[in-house]
Amino acid sequence: MIVKNGLVFREDGTFRKEDVYVEGKIIVSSADEVTDQEVIDAEGMLVLPGLVDVHSHGACGFDFSDANAEGLRRILAYEKEHGITSYCPTSMTLPKEELLKIFATVEEIQGEPEAEVIAGVNMEGPFIDPAKKGAQAEDNIARPDAEFFRSCNKACGGRIRLVTLAPNMPGALEFVREVSGEVMVSIGHTTADYDTALEVMKAGAHHVTHLYNAMPPFAHRDPGVIGAAFDDPDCMMELICDGYHIHGAVVRATFAMMGSERMVLISDSMMATGMPNGLYSLGGQPVRMTDGKATLEDGKTIAGSATNLYDCMKKAVSFGIPRADAIFAATRNPAKSIGIYDQVGSITPGKKAHLLLADEELNLKKVIM
């Protein structure tokens, strides 16, 4: 396949009019390597890498935590249709027995076309702080436990790429030291102070789960997790850019303060994504979604988002984030954060041919995968 005449997003953040050559499902360097001479004319369109969402619970009426293989297939199909070609289905704080069933659905669909979208699994909980549980169920919170994690990882075929941890919980530092060579540990759902957070970052936890949400604010005498993340040059930070979780001014300030190369846009989407207003659930808890905003029954606690990552990327641009920075934060940066940038995240020979065609306003026109 040859994608001709498009403005191709390059690794330096510029667009250049050039052709993209695909042999099988891999990007190659020249037309000489292409046996399938199908041509797609991308004249007047941007050619982007497929997006990488490392944190999403569900979409189109289904939740990964339903432990339903058909539901997972439907979620993956929705994500691909909306330009997310690498995806980490994300669990909730649930009992171990339930988590094992949930993760097993990833193995169940291996070899099927929909499974190509799975880039890994995100284990958000149960190793969190009850004081910052957010939409997670407090009864299911557990102390950090390496063997618990390993059992879950085995259930999904060793595909867990991220595991969230509250560094102020007993045993957190020991957990990070033991498993950081096996998985990226992410700090989140925590009341940890600056020193506690920085200590586990130095031990190997170089990721933050939805920065600002479910953690203390960045205060001038108590900088907390946010200040520690700033001081850890290896730390990557998630931002939910749906327009509800974080004000646009804070999104702009965070990109400027932390550096655009460390920002990871996520959807944190739940089953109401792509659905009409109504009552849904997240990890077994009732959630009401009204005009894109999802909350628990108290009407105050935000319960994930009802927005996909592609729309979050566009929202970031509408907030004033430079277009290239927003694209990087939805492609290159998340791919680097979970260790798959050698496979996806840019339009580079040798990587998977995950390509998106969009107009100048970033309206998605075609997904190639």
Rounded distance, CA 315 to CA 180, Å?
A: 33
Rounded distance, CA 237 to CA 260, Å?
A: 10
CA angle 280, 285, 290 (to 5 degrees): 35
Q: What is the number of other CB atoms lying within 10 angstroms of the CB of residue 350?
A: 10
Of 129, 268, 311, 325, which residue is the catalytic one? Answer: 268
Assign residue 14 a region: left if phi > 0, alpha if psi is -120 to 50, beta otherwise? beta
Q: Which of 228, 237, 164 lies closest to 198, judged by CA?
A: 228
Amino acid identity of residue 3, one-letter, is V
Rounded distance, CA 101 to CA 93, Å?
A: 13
Kind plus residue range of the DSSP H or E element containing 102: helix 96-108
Distance of CA 162 to the CA centre of its chain: 10
Rounded distance, CA 79 to CA 337, Å?
A: 20
Q: How far is CA 70 from CA 35, 73, 74, 115, in A?
A: 35, 5, 6, 11
Quick check: is 298 catalytic? no
Distance of CA 213 to the CA centre of its chain: 15
CB 222 within 8 A of CB 193: yes
Task: Provide the annotated active-site residues.
Answer: 268
